[in-house]
Amino acid sequence: MREQVDVLVVGAGPAGSSAARAAAVGGAQVLIVERRQRVGVPVQCAEYVPAQVARYAPLPERCIGQRTGTLLTHLPDGETVETPAGGYVIDRAAFDRALAVAAYRAGARIWTQARALERTASGVLVRRGGEVIEVRCCVLIGADGPHSTVGRWAGQGNASYIDARQVEVVLSAPRPSTEVYFDPLYRGGYGWLFPKGDTANVGVGVSRAMGGDPRAALAHLLDRLGLAEGAIVGRTGGRVPTGGEVGALVAGDVLLAGDAAGQTHPVTGAGVASAVIGGTLAGEAAAGAVKAGDLSLLHSYEDEWSVMRGPLRHALARRQYLDQHWSDDPVRLSALLRETWIAFKAYGRPRGQRLCAGAQDEG
């Protein structure tokens, strides 16, 4: 059995659905294949996004768990710093579904429980139910996460990761701010508490390459916050790319977006807003190339994405400096974090890149 489309998108997360929506708006015939049974489930996200995300993606009220206006950064030496940070703690599953709905309404089709198996000369073999279908396409967009199958086909992949563990806990009282916690134990990473009304996401991300243990770090953070095991109503975990953009976003007829492209913020691990932006730009480039019958136009994606590279490359430099100078001494580590964490002026930003910097400061 065969299917013919202009653009095949693998993955129905924020990058994939945004790419599909943009390509469909541009007049392309689009199919999304998603290996999970339900779009957005299970959630593997801390669920905080900056307020700017509403500029780039639909954000219905039902997707918002709590609005926040400040960030509290708890340093190992005991200092707590409060900074303005307008944003939302979202229901990520509902958000992903809203993006998929927008893609469908723009004209894209969606197959769930459909796994991309291998490339063919003219497309991709997809297993859907008990059938293997060859989906022929002009352009293939890989938006299939940090360990991207499509990226592997294109010879691209992420090299560095943070391993995250998170629980959702019942709060005894409302908490108005997002909070991050640093400790020598959270090697190469940090802990967080992101409130969403009656509950909060509490988690840690650590570098295993630096000797971090996410389970031990999470247990430490829960004890630090005085949160009982009996208050936990959900658990999740996953890997977050922190090594910067992969070598090439465009490889022949293949585009990569979101985690598959390494478009996450190397310091914070943030990825939702950049996935929406990257996916949208990839979809626009795909539609333009299909319409013109000229795949060389796919490289317009690289050109349009270039405005995001300044903040991400700056963050990668900060990440590398942080990892190289990590200290088990709370005072030294705190001094290092004042140079490398986004809440502090010394973190800095590349000149001329402030417009899109806010889209990176999420968790």
In a domain? residue 361 = no
Could you give the CA distance from residue 90 to residue 351 in angstroms, rounded to a whole number?
Answer: 31
The pLDDT assigned to 168 comes to: 97
Q: Are residues 11 and 70 in the same domain?
A: no
Check whether residue 103 and residue 28 sit in a common domain: yes
What pLDDT score does 1 carry?
85
pLDDT, one tens digit per residue, over 295-307 is 999 999 999 999 9
Tell me, yes or no, whether 39 and 53 share the same domain. no
Domain match, 196 and 266 both = no
Helix (H, G, I), strand (E, B) or coil at 81: strand
Residue 303 inside a domain? The answer is: yes
pLDDT in the model for residue 350: 53
Q: How far is the C-alpha of 245 from the C-alpha of 255, rounded, in Å?
A: 13
User: For the chain, what is the domain count?
Assistant: 2
Given this model, what pLDDT does residue 213 score? Answer: 98
Q: What is the pLDDT of residue 363?
A: 56
DSSP one-letter code for 342: T
Q: What is the pLDDT of residues 89-118, one digit of tens each?
A: 999 999 999 999 999 999 999 999 999 999
- Structure tokens given for 145: 């996460």
73 located within any domain: yes
Query: Do 107 and 117 belong to one domain?
Result: yes
Q: State residue 359's pLDDT score.
A: 36
- Domain boundary residue among 313, 331, 358? 313
Does residue 141 form part of some domain? Answer: yes
Q: What is the pLDDT of residue 44?
A: 87
Q: Are residues 27 and 153 in the same domain?
A: yes
* Domain CATH code at residue 82: 3.30.9.10
- Within-domain flag for 145: yes
For residue 239, give both structure tokens: 């890997």
102 part of a folded domain = yes
Q: Taking Cα atoms as reference points, which of 54, 20, 57 lies closest to residue 284?
A: 20
Q: What does the pLDDT read at residue 26?
A: 98
Nearest Cα neighbor of 264 from 148, 179, 171 is: 148
Are 29 and 144 contained in the same domain? yes
Q: Each residue's pLDDT tens digit in the chain (363 positions)?
A: 899 999 999 999 999 999 999 999 999 999 999 999 999 999 989 999 999 898 888 899 999 999 999 999 999 999 999 999 999 999 999 999 999 999 999 999 999 999 999 999 999 999 998 899 999 999 999 999 999 999 999 999 999 999 999 999 999 999 999 999 999 999 999 999 999 999 999 999 999 999 999 999 999 999 999 999 899 999 999 999 999 999 999 999 999 999 999 999 999 999 999 999 999 999 999 999 999 999 999 999 999 999 999 999 999 999 999 999 999 999 999 999 999 999 999 998 654 343 333 333 455
Q: Are 135 and 253 in a shared domain? A: yes
CATH number of the CATH domain containing 21: 3.50.50.60
Domain annotation covers residue 351: no
pLDDT of residue 362: 52
Cα separation, 255 vs 65, in Å, equals 33
> pLDDT tens, 17-52?
999 999 999 999 999 999 999 999 999 899 999 998
* Residue 142 belongs to domain spanning: 2-43+92-159+243-313
CA angle, corner 17, sides to 129 and 354, nearest 5? 150
